[in-house]
């Protein structure tokens, strides 16, 4: 009996510690099917790029862009995202309005962290 008890105690020690995980803004993004459904819905409503106005191709010719970035307090709702064109060159590099906006935000972020 004493032996069993000590074994139970040992096992208990190895139970994983329950951590409270606070989801970050990026974890709260839609993923999987819900995201695909949103993409189709918004693209069907208006398939033109909000950046350059060109007609985008479903499903790989556009991405949903958060007008206000999630990490800057933007909401992850249909009203808060827009269709922006993307295309990939033969090297797999992303181009188009969404790639340009993301690059701009990265530069902006670098500038901010330098001067704030």
Which residues of the shown chain bind Zn ion in the complex (CB under 5 A)?
49, 51-52, 85, 97
- Least distance from C-beta 54 to Zn ion, angstroms? 6
Percent helix, strand and coil across the chain, each to the nearest 5: 45, 15, 40
- Least distance from C-beta 115 to Zn ion, angstroms? 30
Cα Rg, the chain, nearest whole Å: 22
- Least distance from C-beta 51 to Zn ion, angstroms? 4
Closer to Zn ion by Cβ: residue 52 or 75: 52
- Least distance from C-beta 91 to Zn ion, angstroms? 20
Cα–Cα nearest to 85, from 59, 114, 108: 59
Closer to Zn ion by Cβ: residue 30 or 87: 87
Cα separation, 17 vs 47, whole angstroms: 47
Closer to Zn ion by Cβ: residue 29 or 87: 87
Closer to Zn ion by Cβ: residue 34 or 57: 57
Cα separation, 57 vs 87, whole angstroms: 10
Q: CB–CB of 67/83 below 8 Å?
A: no
């Amino acid at each position: 009996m004493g032996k069993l008890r000590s074994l139970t105690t040992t096992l208990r020690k190895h139970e994983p510690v329950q951590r409270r995980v606070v989801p970050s803004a990026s974890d709260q993004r839609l993923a999987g099917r819900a995201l695909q459904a949103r993409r189709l819905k918004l693209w069907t409503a208006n398939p033109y790029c909000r950046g350059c106005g060109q007609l985008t191709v479903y499903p790989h010719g556009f991405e949903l862009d958060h007008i206000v970035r999630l990490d800057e307090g933007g909401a992850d709702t249909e009203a808060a995202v827009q269709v922006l064109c993307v295309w990939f060159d033969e090297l797999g590099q992303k181009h188009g309005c969404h790639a340009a906006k993301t690059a701009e935000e990265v530069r902006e972020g670098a500038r901010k962290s330098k001067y704030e």
